[in-house]
Amino acid sequence: MSASELGIRIGDLSPGAQNAITDVEGVRVGHSTIVRGEGPLVVGEGPVRTGVTVVCPREGLARDEPVFAGAHRFNGNGEMTGLEWIREAGTLATPVAITNTHSVGVVRDALVRAEIEARTDEEDYWCLPVVAETYDGTLNDINGQHVTAEHVLQALASASTGPVAEGSVGGGTGMICHEFKGGIGTSSRRLPEDQGGWTVGALVQANYGRRSRLRVDGAPVGRVLGTKTIPSPFEGEQTQPAGTGSIIVVLATDAPLLPTQCDRLAKRVSIGLGRMGGGLDDGSGDIFFAFATGNRGIPREGLSEPPVTVPIEMVTNEYMTPLFHAAAEATEEAILNALLAADDMTGRDGITAHGLTPELLLGALDEARRDSR
- Condensed to tens digits (0 to 9), the pLDDT of residues 266-282 reads 999 999 999 999 998 99
pLDDT value at 90 more than 70: yes
CA–CA dist 323, 28 (Å, integer) = 21
* C-alpha 369, offset from chain centre: 29
Q: Please pick, among 136, 141, 281, 286, the residue that the annotation labels catalytic.
A: 286
> What is the pLDDT at residue 126?
85
Q: Check residue 75 and give its pLDDT.
A: 95
pTM: 0.96
Report yes or no: 341 and 185 within 8 Å, Cβ to Cβ: yes
The answer to whether residue 121 is catalytic is no
Q: Is the pLDDT of residue 245 over 90?
A: no
Least confident of 161-170, 219-228, 329-338: 219-228
pLDDT of residue 52: 98
Asked about 141 being catalytic, the answer comes back as: no
Nearby residues of 186 by Cβ (< 8 Å), 6 or more positions away: 19, 20, 21, 22, 29, 164, 166, 201, 202, 203, 204, 334, 337
**pLDDT bracket for residue 304 (50, 70, 90):** confident
Mean pLDDT of the chain: 94
Q: What is the CATH number of domain 4-299+313-371?
A: 3.60.70.12
Residue 305: pLDDT band (50, 70, 90) is: confident
Using DSSP's 3-state secondary structure scheme, residue 357 falls into coil
Question: Would you list the DSSP string of 303-315?
Answer: -SS--S-------
Q: Are the beta carbons of 50 and 81 closer than 8 angstroms?
A: no
> Which pLDDT tens digit goes with each residue over 172-209?
999 999 999 999 999 999 999 999 999 999 999 999 99
What is the average pLDDT across 324-333?
A: 98
Report helix, strand or coil for 131: strand
Which pLDDT score is estimated for 321? 98
Residue 228: the pLDDT is 87
Which tens digits make up the pLDDT trace of 110-122? 999 998 888 777 6
- Report pLDDT digits (tens) over 35-79: 999 999 999 999 999 999 999 999 888 888 999 999 999 999 999
Q: Which of 32, 168, 187, 284 is catalytic?
A: 284
DSSP three-state, residue 353: strand
At 248 the pLDDT is 98
- Tell me the pLDDT band of 237, cut-offs 50, 70 and 90: low
Q: Which amino acid is at 119?
A: R
Helix (H, G, I), strand (E, B) or coil at 100: strand
**pLDDT at residue 238 greater than cutoff 80:** no
Question: Quick one: CA torsion of 37, 43, 49, 52, rounded to 10 degrees?
Answer: -130
Q: Does residue 97 carry a pLDDT above 80? A: yes
Confidence of residue 123 (pLDDT cuts 50, 70, 90): low
349 is catalytic: no
Q: Distance between CA atoms of 87 and 170, rounded to whole angstroms?
A: 27
Please tell me the predicted confidence (pLDDT) of residue 242: 63
Tell me how far CA of residue 293 lies from CA of 106, 153, 190, 323, in angstroms. Answer: 28, 24, 15, 14
Among residues 330, 358, 363, 354, the alpha carbon closest in space to that of 6 is found at 358
Residue ranges with strand state E in 172-294: 176-177, 180-181, 183-190, 199-207, 246-253, 285-292
- Of 289, 249, 332, 243, nearest to 69 by C-alpha is 289
For 301, other C-beta atoms within 10 Å of its C-beta total 17
Name the catalytic one among 32, 232, 246, 270: 246
Q: Give me the mean pLDDT over the 98-104 stretch.
A: 98
Q: Report pLDDT for 61.
A: 86
